[in-house]
Amino acid sequence: MTRGRALGPRDKRGATTREKEKMSELLTPYPDITPYETGMMDTGDGHSLYWEKSGNKNGAPVVFLHGGPGSGTLPRHRTLFNPEKYNIILFDQRGSGKSTPHASLENNTTPHLIKDIEQLRAKLGIKKWAVFGTSWGAALALAYADAHPQSLTALVVSGAYLSRDAELHDLYFEGGVVSRVFPDVFEPYIALLPPGQRANPLKGYQALFKSADAGARAAALDRWTRLEKKVSQLVVTDEELSADMADPAFVLAHSLLENHYWLHNSFMDGDRIARDIGEKTKNIPVHFVQGRYDMVCTFATAWELHKAVPHSRLHVIDNTGHAMREPKTTHTIIDIMNKLEVRP
């Protein structure tokens, strides 16, 4: 064994003094803040969307696009942005969070969501805004930038995703990345399906979600969301998993809406967006934030997009997975947003 430089004594969790000092230098979320304005927006086709504004009324507008689909926004999402610099816009996408009707699949596609974002921007009197999206929200941010590049001052995505077959295979299908790296997590998910339906778990779970058997339906809703949550970080504690799965309304919307979107590749042409996004965003800053060991939105997509957008910056975060709440990922996002040159 070769000798290495001494790093200092380890605490009971195995962290050295030097490692703890480095972690303490990471930028942490801003303190919790209360929205200064909230409302509901009627989409005109059966949905009503919750929206809120917080931070600086006169600051640079930034809109946060949450994951899922179906996850909804949380108070901690406000804390990623400097409340003195930004006018922070959060909203719950169709069927998610406080938006109604809850978990509805009707009139719920990516083109609908893109229309909603533009409608909200106009409603709030915002000419242009920075767009931040994470996970599914990254795909939505890319699709929105593709459709309305004139509305953006900057694009920042964490966990790049385009909902293509290979990306879906990585997480949900036998032989994909998750089934090979986390076989103990994947097996309970796939085992819920009859053997004849395992070739396409997306369709198999759709059938379970529509089952007249309440017990089978509840088990399917749980295992669909549990699969993603258990592989979303390098280490997912029992406490974090329990907190993620504690809200039945969240699990319902997250499972139903994800399955609905994935069955249709999110109603978008991910390959075309990847080809065109460099030209569409050539006049604005673009940042890709990617955990090296992200099992939900694997690194290949971020790498492809970075090459397709020559002026973009790719922030690869070692020793992290998918979740924004991992400290190094949180630090990177806050640092990017702090340094971003956007104006009111």
Catalytic residues, by residue number, are 135, 294, 322
Cα(283)–Cα(230) distance, rounded to whole angstroms?
38
Beta strands in 28-106 (DSSP E): 37-42, 48-55, 60-65, 86-91
Element (H, E) at 204: helix 201-209
Element (H, E) at 286: strand 286-291
Cα(91)–Cα(89) distance, rounded to whole angstroms?
7
CB of 124 within 8 A of CB of 63? no
Q: Can you say how many angstroms the Cα of residue 115 is from the centroid of all Cα atoms in its chain?
A: 19
Cα(91)–Cα(110) distance, rounded to whole angstroms?
15
Element (H, E) at 238: helix 238-244
CB of 295 within 8 A of CB of 177? yes
Cα(79)–Cα(203) distance, rounded to whole angstroms?
37
The answer for residues whose C-beta is within 8 angstroms of residue 182's C-beta and 6 or more apart is 230, 231, 295
User: Mind giving me the DSSP string for 297-330?
Assistant: S-HHHHHHHHHHSTT-EEEEETT--S-TTSHHHH
For helices 136-147 and 110-123, give the axis angle rounded to 10 degrees: 70
Cα(306)–Cα(158) distance, rounded to whole angstroms?
12
CB of 160 within 8 A of CB of 302? yes
Find, among 332, 320, 316, 341, the residue nearest to 29 by Cα: 332
